Amino acid sequence: MQDIQPKTNENIQKIIQLIEHKEINAYEGYIYISLLVSKNSPDPRTKVGACIVDDNFKMLSHGFNDVPLGYKSYQNWNNRNYETDWINSKIPYVLHAERQAIINAFKKQIVLDKKQIFVTLFPCHECALEIIESGINRLYYYNDENEYFGESQKAAKKMFNPCGVVFEKIEIKDKYLVKKIEEEIKNG
């Protein structure tokens, strides 16, 4: 499993306690957690987080966009020129947050049938395929606006319904807390 910063882990535990004590809505709480997890991404422009949760809202796994283990020497995060310089862009080297969360769950031998995933950014079509095939049947997302994955996200949305994956955008009511988390993410 990818390492997350100790402060992030501490904050995740605080949010889980608030969820368990019903002091905050569980759906909003896991979107908050996904935002916190995304902070660990080394990508300076697109920080994405995901967490997989069971029906009792127990967190099973998490992930953030990063390069594969063992390939930490990658430093080309700002090259987004994938149309003319794909091999040197970040696109072929990034492991998406959803995929990482699924891999982390499988490494722990967790069966994902009928589980739910919370993500900060609506998945691309490739992550949608993995979500579908893993058995996850509910997806909650915070944002679906991404200039690079618009068509890919449309394909994902087109696949989810016929494959039995329900998706819903989660509006967070406590905008002050979201702003605080987003500022923390931006400032690293």
**Catalytic-labelled residue, pool 20, 23, 28, 98:** 98
Q: Identify the helix (H) or strand (E) that includes residue 106.
A: helix 97-107
Q: Identify the helix (H) or strand (E) that includes residue 19.
A: helix 6-20
HSE, side-chain direction, 13 A CA sphere, residue 90: 21
Annotation marks residue 10 as catalytic:
no
* DSSP 8-state code for residue 68: P
Secondary structure of residue 134 in the 3-state scheme: helix
Nearest-angstrom CA–CA distance, 51 and 60: 7
- Enumerate the active-site residues: 98
